[in-house]
Amino acid sequence: MKIGKLIVAVLLLVTLWTPLHSEQADGITHRRIRVVIDPGQGGRDPGAIGIDGVHEADINLAIGRLVFLKALTDPLIEIILTRSDDRFIAPIQRALFANEIRADLFVSIHGNGFYNPQAHGIETLIHTTAGQESYLLAATIQRHLIGSLGARDRGVRRQFLFIRRAQMPAVLVEVGFVSNPVEGRLLQTFAHQSQIATAILAGIREFATTHSHLLGSATATR
Ligand SMILES: [Zn+2]
């Protein structure tokens, strides 16, 4: 973990020296796609308690911060975090925040927990009545995660979720089971967290470039 923190610090230093907006050939500075990354749980809500007593909230936060850092120099994507430390925010407030800042996409990051320690794999959730935009975003991120990590593919699933309040394509990624002895320990390593962050970002980037007409709170039906 100490090496992980050092790498994060170095990444942050390097990226602070690079411009945050891309100059295109025409000399116009274009607005980047605004993506809210929401590290689930936090503060008095630790989420699922996993193997070795790990808190889901801490894993969510570590991955969310890495997505943010990896996108700092991205000419296409701007990441805004709902939380960057261990604090409680009511779920609905996170979705309303994304609406307030007129985000183009909303991605919540969570870890799964189950009483059966054998449960494992990655799934991406969308709200029960979510539209095609959210489904496409979920399927794209899920494909990148499974392709990169080789984890068990639990697919895209529909559930009644707080992200229904987000007025833009919105998904909730379950990056693995903190309750599984193998997956739960992997999820605590910097290398694995970094690989997940890279895959989530790749999925967002692919969606943003191939479905740019589906972006934004003005056009999305959820
Ligand atoms: Zn959670």
CA of 37 to the centre of ligand 1 (A): 14
CA of 122 to the centre of ligand 1 (A): 13
pLDDT over 50 (residue 123): yes
Whether 24 is covered by a domain: the verdict is no
CA dihedral sign of residues 145, 123, 86, 84: positive
CATH number of the domain encompassing residue 204: 3.40.630.40
Whether 2 is covered by a domain: the verdict is no
89-99: average pLDDT: 98
Whether 149 is covered by a domain: the verdict is yes
Query: Sheet holding 122-127: strands in order across?
Result: 77-81, 33-39, 105-112, 170-177, 122-127, 153-159
CA of 46 to the centre of ligand 1 (A): 8
CA of 95 to the centre of ligand 1 (A): 15
CA of 112 to the centre of ligand 1 (A): 7
Whether 15 is covered by a domain: the verdict is no
Listed range (16-20, 139-143, 158-162, 177-181) with the worst mean pLDDT: 16-20
CA of 48 to the centre of ligand 1 (A): 7
CA of 59 to the centre of ligand 1 (A): 10
Whether 138 is covered by a domain: the verdict is yes
In sequence order, what are the beta bridge partners of 39?
109
Does 7 or 149 have the greater pLDDT score? 149
pTM of the prediction? 0.86
pLDDT over 70 (residue 10): no
Whether 221 is covered by a domain: the verdict is no
Domain interval for residue 89: 29-214
Whether 197 is covered by a domain: the verdict is yes
86-110: average pLDDT: 98
CA of 129 to the centre of ligand 1 (A): 20
Whether 1 is covered by a domain: the verdict is no
CA of 47 to the centre of ligand 1 (A): 5
Domains of the chain: total:
1
